Amino acid sequence: MTRTAEPRRAPVRPKRRSGLARWAGDTGWRHLMVVLVLVFALVPIVYVVSAAFNPNGTLSTTSLLPSSFGLDNFERLFTEPNVPFWHWFGNSLMIAVPAAFVSIFISSLAAYAFSRFRFKGRRPMLLFLLLIQMFPAFLAVVALYLIFGTIGDFYPVAGLNSKLGLMLVYMGGALGVSTWLMKGFFDTIPKELDEAATIDGASHAQIFFGMILPLAAPIIAISGILAFVGTMNDFILASLFLTDRSEMTLAVGLKTLVAEHSPASYFGLFAAGTLITSVLTVTVFMSLQRYIVSGLTGGAVKG
């Protein structure tokens, strides 16, 4: 009995999508997400800029695209006696710059020790530093308030309502993440350089300050940026520690200014002060931009 051959079935070809559908499925949704993110990020900035240059300086008359522009808010910000803008700005710099410098210096020493030396308890210490970074700083607000309140009873210069006390809090908060970033970057620097310098008679201090720190400039820059910007923009801890008007930072001072007076009428001053503060932050980022990518990627290579 002969079997008849079954006819071959032609392969089913998928329907070709049109050019618009193919673009929407491949890359169009990515463009849509980018537009949404840009709108979400830029609308508040545009609104603050509009309020800063709004001559009326009130919340009710502020819109996303103002009908007129003026420098009245900036003039009031610098001339009104009840708005010590430059004093608050100076307080922020007096706290942020030393806190960032000292925390980066201590973090670099600790990172060099963790990277180059082997000692008992090294790994548990590194894990402990990583563990404490999982908890946000505001969880320790009550404990910090009680601790520095007690310290202020014996040493008022380092207690509550003092720049030094707040500076110590900021330095402790930045040590963990900076140490981890720097330690990862130091691991990428060949140890043969240390060994060659040791053979030539260099000490550990000479190796660290003369060789390691110049090579670690990218990670030092990015760690300094993170510490400085985080300190300048902080409001929660600064509002807890600094209650005297003359000791306030810029963030606390501007918020207090709006809270003491009518928020609607002083919103323009608040926006103008915020805009001037952001100029400093953007300037720091732009001046150290070439270090940001190399510092973050280098610090994340090894742990």
| For the chain, domain boundaries | 24-70, 82-299
Whether 287 shows a pLDDT value over 80: the answer reads no
Quote the percentage of the chain above a pLDDT of 90: 4
Region of residue 121 (left: phi > 0; alpha: psi -120 to 50; beta: else): left
Q: The dihedral of CA 275, 98, 156, 239: what is its sign? A: positive
Whether 263 shows a pLDDT value over 80: the answer reads no
Pick the residue with more confidence: 253 or 294?
253
Q: Which pair of tokens denotes residue 237?
A: 């801890």
C-alpha–C-alpha distance, residues 277 and 138, integer Å: 23
Q: Which single residue is written with the structure tokens 């006696």?
A: 81
Quote the percentage of the chain above a pLDDT of 70: 81
For the chain, helix, strand, coil in percent to 5 are 75, 0, 25
Q: Which single residue is written with the structure tokens 């010590």?
A: 84
Confidence of residue 105 (pLDDT cuts 50, 70, 90): very high
pTM of the model: 0.76
Residues in CB range of 80: below 8 A, 6 or more apart? 269
C-alpha–C-alpha distance, residues 161 and 83, integer Å: 20
Whether 14 shows a pLDDT value over 60: the answer reads no
Question: Which residue, among 180, 173, 185, has the nearest Cα to 100 in the 3D structure?
Answer: 173
Question: Which residue, among 283, 230, 278, has the nearest Cα to 99 in the 3D structure?
Answer: 230
Asked whether 162 and 247 are in contact (CB, 8 A), the reply is yes
Domain 82-299 has CATH 3.40.30.10: no
Asked whether 116 and 191 are in contact (CB, 8 A), the reply is yes
Question: Which residue, among 164, 161, 169, has the nearest Cα to 144 in the 3D structure?
Answer: 169
Q: What confidence score (pLDDT) does residue 302 get?
A: 45
How much is the average pLDDT of 85-108?
Answer: 90
54 to each of 46, 113, 279, how far by Cα in Å? 12, 54, 18
Whether 293 shows a pLDDT value over 80: the answer reads no
Whether 2 shows a pLDDT value over 60: the answer reads no
- The secondary element (H helix, E strand) that includes residue 277 is helix 267-287
Burial class from Cβ neighbours inside 10 Å (0-12, 13-18, 19+) for residue 186 reads buried
Please give the mean pLDDT across all residues of the chain: 79
Q: Which pair of tokens denotes residue 75?
A: 């003039």
Whether 261 shows a pLDDT value over 80: the answer reads no
Q: What confidence score (pLDDT) does residue 98 get?
A: 92
How much is the average pLDDT of 257-274?
Answer: 76
Confidence of residue 47 (pLDDT cuts 50, 70, 90): confident
**Residue 242 per-residue DSSP state:** -
Whether 208 shows a pLDDT value over 70: the answer reads yes
Whether 197 shows a pLDDT value over 70: the answer reads yes
Whether 178 shows a pLDDT value over 80: the answer reads yes
C-alpha–C-alpha distance, residues 113 and 53, integer Å: 51
C-alpha–C-alpha distance, residues 183 and 216, integer Å: 10
Q: What confidence score (pLDDT) does residue 15 get?
A: 55
- Residue 138: CA count within 13 A, CB half-sphere: 7
Whether 303 shows a pLDDT value over 50: the answer reads no
Whether 51 shows a pLDDT value over 70: the answer reads yes
